[in-house]
A and B are shown apart, each in its own frame.
Chain A
Amino acid sequence: MEMVSTSRSANWFLALYSSALGKKTVMALTGIVLFGFVFMHMAGNLKVFMGAEAFNHYAEFLRAAGEPILPHGAGLWMFRLVLLTSVTLHITAATQLTLLNRRARPVAYVRRDAVQLGYAERTMRWSGYLMGIYIIYHLLHFTVGSAHPSFSAANPYGNVISAFQAWPVSMIYIVANLLLGMHLYHGLWSLFQTLGCNHPRYNSWRRVFAITFSVVVTAGFLSVPIAVLTGLVS
C-alpha cells in the first residue's frame, strides 16, 4: 500500500473537517465543551436555593472572573467566545452531516422499521435545533433582558423569581430542559463511540455515565422553575 504523508499544518483542521468522520469528531469535542458548560451552569443555578444574596453575588463573580489580570467582563467574554465557537461548529457540522445523510438514501423505503432506535436518538436533530431557538430566547430573557417584562440587571435573583412565577415561561424552560436531557442522553454516550474510547472493561460505564449526567443536569435545571412555581423559593 502506498502512503502519502503530510506534515501537520494550518490546514490540518480543515482537512479533518472536510471528512464526515472529522465532522463527527468536531461534534464530539464541541459537545464535551458544551456539556461542561451546561453542567457548571446547572450547578451555579442551584445557588438560587441559598437566597438572593448568594445568587446575585455569584452572578457578579461571573462578570468579575479573571480580575484584576483581565478588565471587568473580559474573562466572561472570552468564555462566551469559546461557547459561541463551539455551538456554531456543533450546529454547522450537524447540519452538513444531516444533508449528507439525506443524499445517501435518495429513494425512501416504503417501510423501514426501527429495531432498537430509541426516542432520544430519533429526535437528536430536532432536540438540537429546538434548543438552538430556546438558547436565543433564554439569552434575550435573562442576559439581555428584552424578553423579560421586569428585567433588572442589578438583581438576577429577582429576574429569575418574577420570570418563573408566570407558568407559561416556566413551561418553556421545563420542556427545553427535558429536550436537553434527551439530547445529552444520546450525546454523552455517542461521544465515546465517535472518539474511539472503547474498552471491554469500561464500555458498560459509558451508558451509566450518560444516564447519570443527563438526569443530574436535567433535574438540576428543572428544580429552579419547579421550586418557584411551587413557592419553595420566592
Chain B
Amino acid sequence: MRLHLQIWRQENPSASGNLVKYTLDDVSEDSSFLEMLDLLNEQLVGKGEVPVVFDHDCREGICGSCGVMINGLAHGPSARTATCQLHMRTFKDGDTIQIEPWRSAAFPVIRDLMVDRSSMDRIVQAGGFISVRTGSAPEANLIPVPKGDSDEAFDAAACIGCGACVAQCPNGAAQLFTAAKVGHLNILPQGRPERYERAAGMVAQMEAESFGSCSNYRECEAVCPKGISVDWIARMNRDFLVARLKGIQGKTA
C-alpha cells in the first residue's frame, strides 16, 4: 500500500523541528510500524538523505524502547500494543500518518523521534528497588505470597517504562509509571518494609523532574501498552500520604 507520512524532523535538542512529508510505496500490510520506518530509512539512505532517528530494541513489546505519537495517540490506534507491535494492516492504502516524538519537558528530544527518558530512570533510582542483598533466587515457597497479591504485583511489574503515559497525559504527568514502579514492590512482603520511604522518595524524585501533575484524566491507562490501571495511582497516593503523616521523607536519586 501507499502511505503519506508526516514525520517530525529535528536535528538536535536545541534545534526547532518541523513535520516533513514523505510518500512511501509498496508497504506490506503484514509489516510492523517500525519495519515501515525501516523501509523509509532504506530509501532515504539510498537517496543520500539522513534517515529518521527512532528508538527501538526488542521489537516484541517488552523492552519499552520504542514509542512515538501516531496520529495523536501514543503507540498508535491499537489498544495494549507498543509501537513495534502495531501492524500496518491497521491502516488503509492512501492514509496519511502523522508521527511525532513524545513531548514532555522531562523527555527532551535527542533527534527526530528519539527522546531522552533518563528522568524515569532517576525515579526508579529513588526507591524502585529492595535495598537488601537477596543473593540467588530463594526456594519459591519460602516467603508465602497470596495468589491475589502476586498476580497484582505482576500486573504493575508489566510496566516497560516506555513513557506513553507521560506522552498522552494532557498534563505531561508521570503518575502511572511511578505508581507502577512503587506498587509492584509495595504489595509484596519483600518490598513492604520500605513501603513508605519508597513512595515518598519516588514521588519526590518524580516532582523534581519536569513532569506535570495528575488530574485523574485516565488518558495514561487508555494508551498504556500493558494496560496498567490508574488504581495503582490511588495506592501510591495513599502510601505517599501515610508517609507524610508518619513524617517519613524518602531520599531522592
Complex contacts, A109 vs chain B, CB 8 Å: 69, 72, 100, 103
| Distance between Cα atoms of A142 and B194 in the complex (Å) | 54
Q: Is the beta-carbon distance between B69 and A112 smaller than 8 angstroms?
A: yes
Q: Is the CB of B213 within 8 A of A23?
A: yes
- B240 → A minimal CB distance (Å): 6
Kindly provide the distance from the CB of A182 to the nearest chain B CB, expressed in whole angstroms: 14
Q: Mark B150-187, 1 if CB is under 8 A from A, else 0.
A: 00000000000000000010111100000000000000
Residues of B within 8 A of A76 (CB): none
With contact pairs A1-B194, A20-B207, A194-B237 given, residues A100 and B100 touching in the complex (Cβ less than 8 Å)? no
B225 interfacial contact with A, CB 8 Å: no
In contact, A110 and B100 (Cβ under 8 angstroms): yes
A124 to B170, CA, bound (A): 13
Max count, chain A CB within 10 A of own CB: residue among B223, B231, B237, B247: B237
Bound complex: CA A25 to CA B215 (Å): 11
Given contacts A100-B213, A109-B69, A193-B216, contact A1 B201 (CB under 8 A): yes
- Asked whether A186 and B251 contact (CB < 8 A) given A111-B71, A115-B168, A196-B241, the answer is no
Of chain B, the residue at the smallest CB distance from A198 is B234
Q: Given A5-B248, A111-B98, A116-B219, check contact A20 B238 (CB 8 Å).
A: no
Task: Judge whether A108 is part of the interface by a CB distance below 8 angstroms.
Answer: yes
Given the known interface contacts A104-B173, A109-B72, the answer about A21 and B105 at a Cβ–Cβ threshold of 8 Å is no
Proximity string of chain A (93-118) to chain B, C-beta cutoff 8 Å, 1 when within and 0 when not: 00001001101111111111111110
Q: Which residues of A contact B247 (CB under 8 A)?
A: 5-8, 12
Decide if A101 touches B212 in the complex (CB within 8 Å). yes
Residues of the B chain whose Cβ atoms lie less than 8 Å from the Cβ of A112: 69, 72, 168, 170
Instruction: State A215–B4 Cα separation when bound (angstroms).
Output: 47
Query: What distance in Å separates the Cβ of B111 from its nearest Cβ neighbour in chain A?
Result: 15
A189-B204 contact in complex given A111-B71, A111-B98, A198-B235, C-beta closer than 8 Å: no
Cα A60 to Cα B69 in complex, Å, equals 60
Proximity string of chain B (188-221) to chain A, C-beta cutoff 8 Å, 1 when within and 0 when not = 0000001001100101100100111111111100
A190-207: CB near B (< 8 Å → 1, else 0) gives 101111111010010000
Interface residue tally of chain B, by bracket?
35 or more
Q: Within 8 Å CB of B201, what residues of A?
A: 1
Known contacts A107-B103, A111-B71: A100-B212 contact under CB 8 Å: yes
Query: Which B residues lie within 8 Å of A121 (CB)?
Result: 215-217
Known: A3-B197, A20-B207, A113-B71. A25 touches B233 (CB 8 A): no
Cβ contacts under 8 Å, B244 to chain A: 12, 15-16, 22
B249 & A5 in contact (Cβ 8 Å cutoff): yes
Residues of B within 8 A of A22 (CB): 244
**How far does the alpha carbon of A117 sit from the alpha carbon of B216 in the complex, in Å?**
10
B131 at interface by CB-CB < 8 Å:
yes
Q: Which single residue of chain B is at the shortest CB-CB distance from A191?
A: B216
Bound-state CA distance A165–B244 (Å) is: 52
* CA A195 to CA B241, docked complex, whole Å: 8
The reply on B127 being an interface residue by CB < 8 A is: yes
Residue B85 CB within 8 A of the other chain: no
Asked if residues B219 and A117 are in contact (CB atoms below 8 Å), the reply is: yes
B207 contacts across to A, CB distance below 8 A: 19-21
Q: Are A104 and B71 in contact (CB under 8 A)?
A: no
Contacts of A181-225 to chain B: CB distance below 8 A: 186, 189-190, 192-198, 200, 203
State whether B72 touches A104 (Cβ < 8 A): no
Query: In the complex the two chains form, what is the Cα distance from A101 to B214 in whole Å?
Result: 9
Contact between chains at A97 and B213 (CB < 8 Å): yes
| Residues of chain A with a CB closer than 8 A to B171's CB | 101, 104-105
Asked if B250 contacts A3 (CB within 8 A), the reply is: yes
Q: With an 8 A cutoff between CB atoms, is B19 at the interface?
A: yes
Interface check B106, CB cutoff 8 A: yes
The chain A residues found within 8 Å of chain B, CB to CB, are 1-8, 12, 15-16, 19-25, 97, 100-101, 103-117, 121, 124, 186, 189-190, 192-198, 200, 203
Closest 3 CB pairs of A and B: A196-B238, A104-B212, A198-B234
* CB pairs A–B below 8 angstroms (13 shown): A5-B247, A23-B213, A24-B214, A101-B213, A104-B105, A104-B172, A105-B104, A110-B98, A113-B71, A124-B215, A189-B216, A190-B216, A195-B238
| Additional A-B contacts beyond A21-B214, A109-B69, A196-B235 (12; CB < 8 A) | A4-B251, A19-B207, A21-B207, A100-B212, A100-B213, A104-B171, A112-B170, A115-B168, A124-B215, A193-B234, A194-B237, A196-B236
